[in-house]
Structure 1
Amino acid sequence: MTDAETFLRLAFAQAPASEANAAISRTREEQEDSRSYELVLPGGDVRAFLLERALPKLVDYLESVGAKLPGCGGVFLSVFAGDTLHFIHARDAMQLLAEWSGASLEELKRRYGPR
């Protein structure tokens, strides 16, 4: 299984990317006014992209909006991969990214959280 497949298997729902606005709004309502954090997966090295580019920004965002690690309450990721939009709970994504990075969630918070 590729890293992209492993990451996208975390999705709790999917929708066509062409219906993104409606799908994100619907998911916010279903998740009780959750916040959406959008990502576009590259076609290349997904693990490197997620760990080097997305993870630092995601941790900073989560901590800044009060969606503290480890639970990341109220935030889901809207991940565009090809023509499909995948919805992943931020807590699930963070668990996998912590595992891939070899760092604990506390270490990631210290490393990338707001200063």
Structure 2
Amino acid sequence: MDAAADELLRLAFDRAPALEANQAIARVRAQQGDELSGATSYELVLPAENVRSFLLDYTLPRLVDYLESSGAKLPHCGGVFLSVFSGDTLHFLQARDAVELLSRWSGLSMAELKTRYGPK
């Protein structure tokens, strides 16, 4: 496995077979949500190679824009978790943990991420 994928997926708080994705996402949504609503799943599929550049060039800008637009503001990213498909496994990560790692990799602070990739 790609070293960047390995580092990202070590952040997972839960895993499930990808074939059971719908049930697993529903379960985690219910576990992570509050009494009024479930949490939101942000789903992505990791490529087999060049994971770090995929995450920094493609995923990070879209994820930050989504989080800021939906009210799940950085750095806490409340109510959002990532459902990351890698091979035949689905990995669940807190959005805040993934953003923190990608922030470190990019060399951009949370404020810089918001300015660069947040809603205009």
In structure 2, list runs of 5 or more residues that go unmatched: none
How far the C-alpha of 1:10 sits from its partner, in A, is 0.3
1:6-85 to structure 2, matched below 5 A, reads 6-32=7-33, 33-85=38-90
The alpha-carbon deviation at position 25 of structure 1 amounts to 0.3
| Distance across 2 between alignment mates of 1:20 and 1:51 | 25
2:74 and 2:87 map into 1 onto residues whose CA distance is: 29
In 2, the alpha carbon distance for the partners of 1:105 and 1:17 equals 31
Structure 2 length normalisation: TM-score? Answer: 0.94
Q: Secondary structure at the match of 1:67?
A: coil
Which string of whole-angstrom CA distances, capped at 9 and with x for unpartnered residues, describes residues 29-76 of structure 1?
000111000010000110000000000000000001100000000000
RMSD of the TM alignment (CA)? 0.8
* In structure 2, C-alpha distance between the alignment counterparts of 1:77 and 1:110, rounded to whole Å: 22
Structure 2 distance, partners of 1:81, 1:18, is 12
CA–CA distance in structure 1, aligned partners of residues 110 and 19 of structure 2: 34
Segments of structure 1 that go 5 or more residues without pairing to the other structure are: none
CA distance in 1, matches of 2:29, 2:87: 22
Q: Structure 1-normalised TM-score? A: 0.98
Distance in 2 (CA, whole Å) between partners of 1:54 and 1:2 is 17
Q: CA deviation at 1:24?
A: 0.2
